[in-house]
Structure 1
Amino acid sequence: MNEPRPVIAFAWIASHPWLYPLLESLHVIGIAMLFGGLVVLELRVWGLARALDVLALARLALPVSLAGFCLAAATGLTMFISQPAELLANRVFVIKMSLLMLAGLNAASFHARGGLASLDGIARAQTLISLGLWVAVIICGRWIAYY
């Protein structure tokens, strides 16, 4: 007897001639917004451009970073649902998701402890960890297709 094969309702997304490339492009734009905003703010936390008020800069940079994260998350989730089994079996994808979780926990810890108000050594260390995690997330994202 033949076992019924599961129907992947969203598999068409991955093979669509323009939708998947559009999602990938929007995903990259979201990452650029996220990472760009973080780099500017984190450079200020490290002491560069001291003439700029860190809280005013945060009011500009953090919404851009958050919007970028939301765009990257929405497009990433849409791409994920088009091929969940393949992605979950991909070790690099799993590492990327773990790094994303660590980056989120680091950001939550940074803001919960008032890192922008203190600009102390812990805040600088957390921003260094943040950039390292996001660079690793970006690298893993590129490697997913080749692993």
Structure 2
Amino acid sequence: MHTFAAAGTGFLLAVLWFDLMFDVQTRKYDGEVLPPEVLASISNYYRRVTTEAYPMNRLVALVMLLTLAAICAEIVEGKNPWWIGWGSIALAGSGFVPTMMRTVPNARRLGSAKDSPQEQSRLARAVCRDHMFSFARMLVVLILQLIAK
């Protein structure tokens, strides 16, 4: 089962990498309102991936669920040390819940470009922060899965 969990984790890391390619534009402007061209770039990207990419944008949520299911099956099989499965489920689960409850709604709102530049800047920074933490968590999950038998 660790092969399926590792594959799902790898897919999610790739998605996060693409998101971060746009998110990192926020890092150059610490605490200030982002320039219109930066906001437009980020907003256009999130409009495409959260709204216009239907039904493919649902694939990410499906892979999250399948990855969690693969990790649960790995725990039930009991072929690996307990800390690999339980560590993976804790890290992945602690990232998936805020992603669905906070990051995705923020990205959709950012993609709508209806808020003030100040609010869009805040949303863009929040999404970037969430994605950086998610990338770090999922990288550790991938490492755990790769050291599994």
Q: Which runs of 5+ in 1 are unaligned?
A: 1-13
Q: Would you say the 8 A contact 2:20–2:131 is kept in 1?
A: yes
Q: Does 1:105 align with 2:105?
A: yes
Q: Which runs of 5+ in 2 are unaligned?
A: 76-84, 145-149
Q: Give me the TM-score of the superposition, normalised by structure 1.
A: 0.56
C-alpha displacement of 1:42: 9.0
Q: Does 1:36 align with 2:36?
A: no
Aligned residues: 124
Identity %: 9
In structure 2, relative to structure 1, the CA distance for the partners of 1:111 and 1:30 (3 Å cut) is closer
- Which fold has the larger relative contact order, with Cα–Cα distance below 8 Å and residues 6 or more apart in sequence? 2
Q: Secondary structure at the match of 1:83?
A: helix
Q: Would you say the 8 A contact 2:34–2:121 is kept in 1?
A: yes
Give the CA RMSD over aligned residues.
Answer: 4.0
Structure-2 separation of matches of 1:57 and 1:129: 12
Residue-by-residue CA offset, 1:11-59 (whole Å, 9 max, x unaligned): xxx255xx55544433322222233244458979711757xx92x7744
Q: Give me the TM-score of the superposition, normalised by structure 2.
A: 0.56
- The aligned runs of 1:1-147 (5 Å cut-off) are 14-16=1-3, 21-39=6-24, 46-47=34-35, 49=37, 54=40, 58-59=43-44, 61-62=45-46, 65-66=49-50, 70-84=58-72, 86=75, 90-100=89-99, 101-110=101-110, 114-115=114-115, 118-119=116-117, 121-144=118-141, 146=144
Q: Secondary structure at the match of 2:134?
A: helix
Say which structure is richer in helix.
Answer: 2
Q: Would you say the 8 A contact 2:43–2:113 is kept in 1?
A: no
Structure-2 separation of matches of 1:113 and 1:48: 11
